[in-house]
Every structure is written in structure tokens, then in C-alpha cells.
Chain A
Amino acid sequence: MSWFGSFLKSSIGQKIIMSLTGLFLIQFLAVHLIGNLQLLANDGGQQFNLYAKFMTTNPVIKTVSYLLYASILLHAVQGLWLWSRNKAAKGGKYAVMAKESSTYASRNMGWLGIIILVFIILHLWQFWFQMKMGWLEMKTYDGVEVKNLYAPVAYAFKQWWYVLIYVLAMGVIGLHLHHGFQSAFQTLGLNHKKYTPLIKFLGTAYAILVPLGFALIPIIFFLFR
């Protein structure tokens, strides 16, 4: 095997794939949130729809989005594969579960990831798929014709069960991020007495604020729009 192949196949190499794709997805969440916040503009969806058009037509963004799909896929497939391999390496469970020695999130990244994956599939089906398949009605702003993605979003955010699923999913993402953020740095070897506390703080803040930001939007829609 080539040196690069053996690097990627090693346990550390495999984890680095998780770490890099994870970090990419982490930054994507922030970008996605910025987009979503435009739902709150209270302009009947104009700004949001224009933004959505930009995101789906700009060639640079389109290229990055392929990277994103690949990252999600790789992170999920690789994650599941490592999860099952690690379960096999453990070989058995203890009769008593020791909760003191690690966080809930760190022990359950696999389950959290699966829930998130299911949510992403649902999410894609509901919005992304509709956008791509052209099943959306068109709207014109200042002579520019765009797909009205705002309509299905606004509709979904009025369904109590959907808002509930969405908010719960954000909770799960928060947990996943809480471990994943600093874990990604640790895997890359970025652990330092001086900086790690900062990374941990940022990770915690990110894991709270970003999912909270996402969750607030459907809640506001549900309650006030």
C-alpha cells in the first residue's frame, strides 16, 4: 500500500477524515444559519428567496456545495463504519454504566449522528429536494424570477409537530457539536495548555448558540407569524 493509503487507513488517519469533514460541516452550519436568519426579515420571504437563488446558482458556491454533500456523506458513512468497528473492538458492555468518567455526548456520538442523519434526510426531502426538482412556485422581485422556497418553510414552521422535531434535532446537533468541536482539534493534535481551554469554551459556545439560533426561527414563526 502506498504511504498515503496506509496513513488514511490507520486509526489516526481515519479519525482525521472525521475531524476534517466535521470541521467543514461545523463552519457550514454557521453559513446556513446566516441564511436562515433572513427568514426573520418580515418581507414575505423576498430576501430569503433571493439568497436561496444566489446560493444555488453562484458557481463558486455550487462547487463548495458539492464538497459539502461529499463531506456529509463521508462523515456519515465513515462515522457509522468507525462506530461499528469500535463497538466490535470493545467486545462487551459492563453491567454497571459509569457515567462519571465521560460526557453523555462523547459516549453517544454514533447515536446522535444517526439521529442527525435522519433529520438531514428529512430536511433535504422537505426543502432542498423541492428546490432542486423545481416543484416550487416562482416569484418575481424587481424583474428577477426566483423559486419561492419561503412558502414551504413558512408552512412547515406552522406545524407544531414539525417545530418540535426541528427543535429536538437542534438539541441533538448541539450535543454532537459540543463533543465534536473540541474533539476535531484534539484529533488534529491541536491540544495545548494555553489554547485548549479557549477551544473548549468556543466549542461550548458554538454548540449552544448555533443550534439555538436555528431553533429560534421555527419557534418565532410558530408563535408570532
Chain B
Amino acid sequence: MKLNSNIPEGPLADKWTNYRGKMNLVAPNNKRRIDIIVVGTGLAGASAAATLAELGYNVSAFTFHDSPRRAHSIAAQGGINAAKNYQNDGDSVYRLFYDTIKGGDYRSREANVHRLAEASRSIIDQCVAQGVPFAREYGGLLANRSFGGVQVSRTFYARGQTGQQLLLGAYQALSRQIATGNVKMYNRHEMLDLVMVDGKARGIIARNLLTGKLERHAAHCVVLATGGYGNVFYLSTNAMGSNVTAGWRAVKRGALMANPCYTQIHPTCIPVSGEYQSKLTLMSESLRNDGRVWVPKNMDDVMAIREGRKTGNDIPEEDRDYYLERRYPAFGNLVPRDVASRAAKTACDEGRGVNQTGLAVFLDFAAAIERYGKAEAHTQGLHNPDKGTITRLGEEVVKAKYGNLFQMYEKITGENPYKLPMKIYPAVHYTMGGLWVDYNLETNVPGLFCLGEANFSDHGANRLGASALMQGLADGYFVIPYTIGQFLSKEIRTPKISSDLPEFEAAENATKERVEKLINIKGNQSVESFHRRLGKIMWEYCGMSRNAEGLKKGRQMIRELRAEFWRDVFVPGTADEFNPELEKACRVADFLELGEVMMVDALDRNESCGGHFREEYRSEEGEAARNDADYTYVAAWEWNDEQPILHKEELVFENVELKTRSYK
């Protein structure tokens, strides 16, 4: 299969403008007759559904949640990037483009990323107009802050709840279209199959989660905006319901899964506390601005801390190893996410982890509290303040900056982070991989589009902070409404697609069979237990660092686990009722296949880049070593039970020079 990225001709900066100017359009009278299905109502899905409906298309939108407002976009804390240059600090579209390409370790498409940077500016305007309460300066203008990996302040934010506010903006825009009748909203509906008619995506089979009834929905095209698949690791910062099923069903119908091994592991999460743990909680990256990361130098101290005989405070300064500051003096505690995560893993692999499980490092604010305390005392005109006063004043400053995060930490761990150093550990956070799409965000299946985290397109091998929200909204508000016309302009003579077509019947029957099969196994192990086991395999062999031997072993273990699942899983209840266990079973079944492809992809990529670190491929100092000569391609996988088939899209860099990232 030849993968055509359909990147328009011309200079990078003009591609999108010129392309838009010459694109095929669908006339208003024809839009009214065209049906579009949008699956997923997070940032990308809700913004796409709303915008397409505003343009006049008939949209049907689907979410498995009880309301579109619950999508996991809502949990994004930090902010959204935009090349507005409001701070006059030299930001530009090109600089955002360049930072994103570099941050992605040169594994993304130039043209897509440049378009993303261009759209970023309109996103802020659009969101402000919708009433998103972004943070403001005293003069009433928009405030910015800076994020990891960049040298400008371009991140717009709404306290620590930017994702929530942006999602509510998109949800409200969607609600407005639901009220006009342009969008028919299907809550508590989960897509379980893609229906293809004459080689084009023409509908879906969705399960009504309340009644269990399988429904056929037909349309001229299908848009997937179904988020990331980080939950294949079981423990992640994703929501419990986040899943790969919609995308994976498309893969089973011929779509390609691109770069599935690129997983972002976020360095500052609250560590696992026990076997019962169901999910991991992120502590915003901003904490690394003031927190110092360390582990004890001596094993005696490590053991004393683990056994509760000592706390972090008891370890004298000279016995602490501030390993990020030691290894990366230039960036110190502010190295990019992938680097910080791997360094934490190294420290814990050496046996120096500081909790009972041995999988935690300290993030210490004592120095910051003292520094801020002294400064504050000085401001208040206190000379020779005592230690208690300094600490009190310093804690107040830290509270003003990170109060909600400290509170969240205390709620979860029961420890007071003002008094004791925080314990943190990396956790799966975001998946850069996803369905392969071309410049139009269309997959290799004609009429099937994919947006947001669910596609692979913009972040390469590593995503920069505050860029996920940007991509979701760019795709939904400003890309798909144009590019979908390239496909639909050829469909204006296609009459309404009938859901009575034999293809729909066949897909419904296949889904029905599959669901009933799961129910009828009546084995002895819960769905949850399989998911946990899968997660452990993925984390062990395809997690923060990977090697060929482990990946082969992991792949074999997943195949065995999958066989065991289909032999011995127990799904209580029936298929024709509200049955959350059955929903979970359908999702885990798909994760069990995806996990294998991730291993295969990681094994294929004999280099270390971004979120993919192969132990065999590192520099003399132990840093990730890319192999641009052989691996500057997108690996798009076609499903095959025996051996997934690789299709390559070569990445062409005409505007940036490929360099080694260095943070020393």
C-alpha cells in the first residue's frame, strides 16, 4: 500500500493558505443533504461536531459518557499554546512550529505541524469569544506562562483547569447545535464497529449502553475523535473509560495504526500505593519550576526511609543526590518529560526509590520555601527573621502558586507536602501514536477521518506540554471543517446512505456475535484482572525503556494472555442491559490486540527517540540515540493476527535540520 500524505505543494508557510483557497467546497444546499457521524465528544470531537453543524451538515455525535462534558480532555491542567506573541518575547508561528518539531524529536510531518501553529492563534480568539475565562493581567489582557522545552511564554491558561474550560466551551457550542437540531446527540452510545460500503466508511454500529441494543447509524462519512489509548497500560493518568475501541475497530476494517509505540510518560505523578490502585494522578509539570528532584546517595538511608525510620527531612544535604541537576546542569530539574522520566527510572532501578514499592523519588520544595520565605521577609521589611517566620512566609508563597496541587497531593497520599518532600514517579500520560491520517486528517480508509489524540499526526515521538489541547481544537475547529470537503464534494450526488444495506447487517451480526461470545465464555477471571495483567506486561516490556529481548517476550506474553482472556474471562449479566462490565470487556479485548502491535512497532524501531527509548540505542553518556538515516519514517501498521504488516511513510524535512537534542 502506498501511503500518500497529500501534503500540498509550495513553501511551508503558504501551504495551508493556498490549499484552503483552492479546496473543493460543498454548497450550502448540498450540505443539508449530507450526513456526518462524529464519534467522541472531547475537545476535537465536540469542536468538530459543532463547527460542521454550523456549516450546515447533518451531524450525529456519539459519546459513551452520560454527557459530552465528561470527556477526558476535561482533566488537562496546564494550558494551551498559541503563537500570539502577546508577550513580545519573540514568539512566532515558525517558532511554535520549530519547537513542536524539535520537541517531537523530528518524527512528525512538517506541513501538519506548521498548520497547527498557524491555527493556534485562531483557537484563542474563538475560545475567548465563547466565554472561556482565561487568566488575565491587571490591565484586562490575556495572561501567559511558560512551559517545558521552550524559551517563550505562549501558554494560555485558566488556573489549573484549562482543559475543563476549553471543553466546556466546545460542549456549549455543541449544545447550541443540538438545540437547533443540526446535531443529533447520542449519549451513552459506544461505537463497536465501522461499516464500510464499497470501500468507503459509511456508518457505525453503536451499542446503546442503557439498553444494550445494537444500533446501525449510516452517514456519508465518519469522523473519529476518540482520544488516546494510554489505558492499555492499565495504570495511567487517563480516565477509567478512555479506550481504543473505536479506533481499533477501524483498524480491524483496514485503517492503519501509526507509531503506536510512542508513549508519553509524564515524570511527575503520584506513585502507585498498592495493588488495588486503579489510576494515577498527574501533578502539573509546573511543579518542577520550584521542586528539586532527588534520591538518597546511601542505601542505608533508602532502607531507613522505606521502613519509616527516617523521612526525607532527616537526610543531610551532602547525602542527597539531586540527579537531574547533576546529570543535566544546563536544564536541571526542567529537562523535558521523557528525559526526566527516564532519569527517575534509572534512580529507582539502582535501588534508590524512596517508598515501600521502591518506585518513587523525592520532589522537594524545602529550598524553594526557604528562598521565597527570605525574599518575602525582605519585602515585608523583616531583618533577621527566625527560621519559623521564613518557613511560614515561604509556605504562603508556595501555597499561592501551587495550593490546589498540594491540596490534591495531601488528599491522595495523606502526607503534608509543605512539611515532607513529595514522592513522585513517572506514569503513562499521552499517546502520540494513533490512526494514520493524511494532511486532510483522512485515514487510508476513504471517508474515515481521525482527529485529536486519536490520530498520530502532530507530535512526533514526544509531545510538548500544553500542545494536546491546541491540537484537539485545531483539528476540530479549523482543519476538519475545510478538509472534509475534499471528500464530501465528491459525494454530493450520493443519496442518503441506508442502514438496511447488507454491509450494515453483516457488521451488526458480527458485533452481536462478538458481544455474545464474551458473555458466554463464563470463565473464572474478571475483566479487571486481565486488564491489570496486560498493563503490567506493557509497563514491564514496553514502558519507559524497552529492549528487543523484552519486547519479543512481552509480545508472546500478550498473545498468551489474549488466548486466556477469550477462554476464561467472566462477564456478569447479559448483553441486553446496562452492563458496565461488558463495556469493559469489549475494550480490554481490543487493548489485548493493540498491545501486541505496540510491541511489534517498538521492536521494529531500532533507535531511541522521544517517548520510545530502546536500551540498545543510546549514546556513550547513556542518552537516547536517534537513527535518522534508517528511521525517519512513520510506521503505519495493518492488522494481521499472525504478523502485523508495516507500511512506511517517509518523513521529508525541507525546513528544519535534524539535530540531536541536548540538555546538558
Is chain B in direct contact with chain A in the complex (CB below 8 A)? no
